[in-house]
Chain A
């Protein structure tokens, strides 16, 4: 069964450093997403990406965050200057040719900012 692949599974970074979280969505999917889950809290929407541009973003997704699809397969989330409160599980997801809300999530990257 096709999977959304995220790397690394765990990243530790120092406060103020830049991090890039990587995702390989399911091939031929066109809609891409990042969500995050702070420990003990809800899964929260960050951003959706379609047709090579951000289509929707939450208030969490401020100027410190950016997304990119640098080639035909990867989808990245960059945090420019990490803060302690950015520590969370970050989930990438993708959806097919027709928008399907039951889309597929990756296993997540646990980001720890120290």
Chain B
């Protein structure tokens, strides 16, 4: 089941630069997308989300872009900080109807921000 894919297992970025994490999905029924961050020995932590009616959502240093026609979304972190080093998961869901919040996750991308 590869409905949500993060093709880059890892990304290394210098502090202060932009980090761009990518995610692709195949299920056209998905209409809500989220990014989670995960540190070792902790559960995923919600970062930012976007509805399919938008193409951009911004929250501080984090911006998520959605390209519905390409079934692609990306997370931009500007400027990157060493504390951002973590595993980043893309997730997607279909809202409404009988949805009770099931998320489908990508494999994750390990982001390392070097001082």
Contacts and interface: CB of A to CB of B under 8 A. Distances in A.
Main secondary structure of the interface of A (DSSP, over half): strand
User: In the complex, which of the residues A93, A101, A106, A108 has the most CB atoms of chain B within 10 Å of its own CB atom?
Assistant: A101
A20 interface: no
B100 A102 contact: no
B105 A103 contact: no
A31 B105 contact: no
Main secondary structure of the interface of B (DSSP, over half): loop
Interface in B30-66: 32, 34, 36, 41-46, 49
A9 to B, nearest CB: 8
Interface in A36-69: 41-45, 48, 50, 55-56, 58
Contacts of A41: 107
Given A31-B100, A93-B43, A100-B101, 15 more contacts: A31-B101, A42-B105, A45-B102, A45-B103, A50-B100, A91-B43, A91-B44, A101-B95, A101-B101, A102-B34, A102-B46, A104-B46, A105-B45, A107-B41, A108-B41
24 contacts: A4-B43, A42-B105, A43-B89, A43-B105, A45-B103, A45-B104, A48-B100, A48-B101, A50-B100, A55-B98, A55-B100, A56-B102, A58-B102, A95-B101, A99-B99, A99-B101, A101-B34, A101-B103, A102-B34, A103-B101, A105-B36, A105-B45, A107-B42, A107-B43
